[in-house]
């Protein structure tokens, strides 16, 4: 029987989760759903000094907003819980002890001062101090001290850590689904701390023990954890456990220049790096992105479908996703492309859905503006302007003249369009408009056009000044569509006001 697919997203609650973290969560989610498996959220909070209040809730809210909820995790207890490592702290000690008992780990009593002194001494000689096979027999630990001395120290309650005893002169052959086979010489590895004197495991021990106990089948995480793979594989071997399959995702790189996209890049370069706002930084949500667009562009950061397709629904991503199609090399982040995605999703959305979102924005500006407006009017306005928008919040600037008459007129346009005879022509137009019963775009258009012809006027003498007085500028869709939507009374009012102001 093949093992059930169980993956986990295992963030440490040390701050806002940036989009790289969400991308890791997304790839885990897609992989789990593709294989009818489980997506687990595990909070890795063993390092209490780095714990940030609110970070865990932020992670949960961000996953929910992106519509990639976890199946098991804090608040959704399954049979493998608890899912916060701080609530599992009694579990780890016995595993650390087990490694000491079978010779894979040892007690180390070196004080911080002693270690600092070793580091300094090495630095002075231009060397780096590494705690491992080449010097551990000379340091203050259970490999160098007698059993008696060790037992005495433990009985006295001396501070100690438990270190992994990394072997000498061995070649490790590690497997990564994305990177293939990786050879490591154990001589370059240090004896990592597994358990600390404060009674807490380190990331490495807790992570391996929990992945094992939670029956995680695949570990999908960022490339920054690749250097830990050798230790993790050795820990599985030392416990005699079958290791999960590993896949290390490529880094997300800065839009320009070298290096990994950092939390600070967003502010420096003017685009969001968080899904939701975190402290002072606005998130994708607050900037007006649709979660579907965010998920779509994140999926293509480091994964490729092998086709030209760029727009994917979540369901399509689930069915297309494979780890084999994740790239090895870093994925350059392109803020313009994120906007392109939002634009695509906005154009695809139903006008009614957009109208409801736009109504909320108008309501925040001034609820009175909605009094005379039916939802069907807003829908019509949206059909007229949406092709020029990337975000719903741009609707207002693109359509404010549907709600409010201009209080000023663009200077250059006035110079160009407002001629001596314009007031007279517009006054005559008002008389025509007053007589129109059916004030719909099509009807007004044919009557005004007939009138222009009958008066032997040119279009240029009527239409541009008309647009200017209705909109305040030369922008906007078809003038007759604007007229039909704002209605006869308002059109006449705006023409009269302009004549009074500009003449
Ligand atoms: N707690 C680690 C982190 O913050 C988890 C790494 C892993 O997935 O093993 O990213």
Instruction: Please write the tens of the pLDDT for every residue from 311-369.
Output: 999 999 999 999 999 999 999 999 999 999 999 999 999 999 999 999 999 999 999 99
Same domain (yes/no): 190, 106:
yes
Mutation choice for ligand 1 from 221, 243, 246, 263, CB with most ligand atoms inside 8 A:
221
Q: Are residues 20 and 169 in the same domain?
A: no
CATH number at residue 415: 1.10.10.350
- Does residue 393 share a domain with residue 466? no
Statement to judge: residues 330 and 298 lie in one domain: yes
CATH code of residue 36: 3.40.50.620
How deeply is 334 buried, as exposed, middle or buried, from its count of CB atoms within 10 A (0-12, 13-18, 19+)? middle
Domain annotation covers residue 202: no
**Chain-centre distance for alpha carbon 184:** 34
Q: Give ligand 1 pocket residues (Cβ under 6 A).
A: 10-12, 44, 203, 207, 221, 225
Q: Is residue 134 part of a domain?
A: yes
Q: CA-to-CA distance for 210 and 92, rounded, in angstroms? A: 9
DSSP state of 251: P
Strands (E), 196-317: 218-222, 245-249, 252-253
Residue 263 pLDDT:
83
Query: CA–CA distance from 119 to each of 122, 124, 129, 195 (Å)?
Result: 5, 9, 5, 21
CATH number at residue 298: 1.10.1160.10
The catalytic residue positions are 263
pLDDT number for residue 68 = 98
Q: Ligand 1: which residue has its CA nearest to atom 2?
A: 11
Q: What is the pLDDT of residue 317?
A: 98
Task: Say what the pLDDT of residue 287 is.
Answer: 95
CA of 404 to the centre of ligand 1 (A): 53
Whether residues 185 and 94 share a domain: the answer is yes
In a domain, 278, yes or no: yes
Q: Quick one: pLDDT at residue 503?
A: 84
Q: Are residues 94 and 190 in the same domain?
A: yes
pLDDT value at residue 151: 96
Residues 427 and 493 in one domain: yes
Q: What is the pLDDT of residue 48?
A: 83
Do 300 and 332 fall into the same domain?
yes
Q: How far is the CA of 360 from the centre of ligand 1 (A)?
A: 39
Task: Single out the residue in 307, 324, 347 at which a domain terminates.
Answer: 347
CA–centroid distance, 6 to ligand 1, in Å, is 16
Q: How many CA atoms lie within 13 A of 276 on its CB side?
A: 15
Q: Looking at the structure, do residues 384 and 445 belong to the same domain, yes or no?
A: no
475 within domain boundaries: yes
What pLDDT, on a 0 to 100 scale, did the predictor assign at position 381?
96
Q: Is residue 246 part of a domain?
A: yes
Answer yes or no: is 80 within a domain: no
The answer to whether position 26 is within a domain reads yes
Pairing mode of beta strands 218-222, 245-249: parallel
Does residue 119 share a domain with residue 136?
yes
- Contact criterion met (CB below 8 Å) for 267 and 281: yes
Structural domain includes residue 496: yes
pLDDT of the residue at 1: 59
Using most ligand atoms within 8 A of CB, pick from 59, 203, 249 the residue to mutate for ligand 1.
203
Does 395 lie in the same domain as 341? no
Are 71 and 220 contained in the same domain? yes
CATH at 124 = 3.90.800.10
Note down the domain range covering 485: 411-502
- The count of other CB atoms within 10 Å of the CB of residue 27 is 27
Q: How many domains does the chain have?
A: 5
Q: For residue 225, how far is its CA from the centre of ligand 1 (angstroms)?
A: 7
Return d(Cα 295, Cα 314) in angstroms, integer. 8
Minimum-distance ligand 1 atom for the alpha carbon of 211 = 9
Low-confidence ranges of the chain (pLDDT < 70): 1
Start-end of H helices in 217-281:
229-239, 263-269
């Amino acid at each position: 029987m093949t093992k059930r697919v169980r993956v986990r997203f295992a963030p440490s609650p040390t701050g806002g989760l940036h989009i790289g973290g969400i991308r890791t969560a997304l790839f885990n989610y897609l992989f789990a759903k593709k294989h009818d498996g489980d997506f687990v959220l595990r909070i890795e909070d063993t390092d209490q000094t780095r714990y940030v209040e609110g970070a865990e809730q932020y992670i949960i809210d961000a996953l929910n907003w992106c519509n990639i909820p976890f199946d098991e995790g804090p608040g959704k207890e399954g049979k493998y819980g608890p899912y916060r490592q701080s609530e599992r702290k009694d579990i780890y000690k016995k595993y650390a002890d087990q490694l000491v008992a079978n010779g894979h780990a040892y007690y180390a009593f070196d004080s911080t001062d002693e270690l600092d002194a070793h580091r300094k001494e090495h630095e002075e000689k231009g060397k780096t101090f590494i705690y491992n096979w080449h010097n551990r027999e000379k340091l203050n630990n259970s490999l160098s001290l007698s059993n008696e001395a060790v037992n005495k120290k433990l009985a006295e309650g001396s501070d100690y850590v438990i270190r992994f005893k990394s072997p000498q002169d061995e070649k490790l052959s590690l497997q990564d689904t994305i990177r293939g086979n990786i050879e490591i010489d154990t001589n370059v590895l240090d004896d990592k701390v597994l358990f600390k004197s404060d009674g807490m495991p380190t990331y490495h021990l807790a992570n391996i023990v929990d992945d094992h106990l939670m029956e995680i089948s695949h570990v999908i995480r960022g490339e920054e954890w690749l250097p830990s793979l050798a230790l993790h594989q050795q820990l599985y071997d030392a416990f005699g456990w079958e290791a999960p399959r590993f896949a290390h995702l490529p880094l997300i790189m800065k839009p320009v220049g070298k290096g990994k996209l950092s939390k600070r890049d967003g502010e420096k370069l003017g685009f969001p790096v968080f899904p939701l706002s975190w402290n002072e930084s606005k998130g994708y949500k607050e900037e007006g992105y649709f979660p579907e667009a965010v998920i779509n562009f994140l999926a293509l950061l480091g994964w490729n479908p092998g086709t030209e397709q760029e727009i994917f629904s979540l369901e399509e991503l689930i069915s297309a996703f494979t780890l084999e199609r994740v790239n090895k090399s870093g994925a350059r982040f392109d803020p313009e492309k994120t906007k392109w995605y939002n634009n695509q999703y906005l154009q695809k959305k139903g006008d009614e859905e957009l109208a409801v979102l736009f109504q909320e924005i108008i309501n925040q500006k001034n609820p009175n503006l909605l009094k005379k407006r039916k939802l069907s009017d807003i829908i019509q306005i949206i059909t007229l302007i949406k092709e020029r928008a990337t975000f719903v919040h741009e609707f207002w600037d693109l359509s404010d003249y549907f709600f409010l008459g201009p209080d000023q007129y663009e200077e250059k346009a006035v110079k160009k369009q407002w001629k001596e005879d314009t007031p007279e022509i517009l006054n005559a137009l008002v008389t025509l408009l007053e007589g129109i019963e059916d004030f719909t775009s099509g009807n007004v258009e044919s009557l005004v056009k007939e009138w222009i012809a009958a008066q032997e006027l040119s279009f240029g003498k009527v239409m541009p000044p008309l647009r200017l007085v209705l909109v305040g500028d030369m922008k906007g869709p078809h003038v007759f569509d604007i007229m039909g939507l704002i209605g006869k009374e308002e059109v006449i009012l705006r023409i009269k006001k302009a004549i009074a102001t500009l003449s």
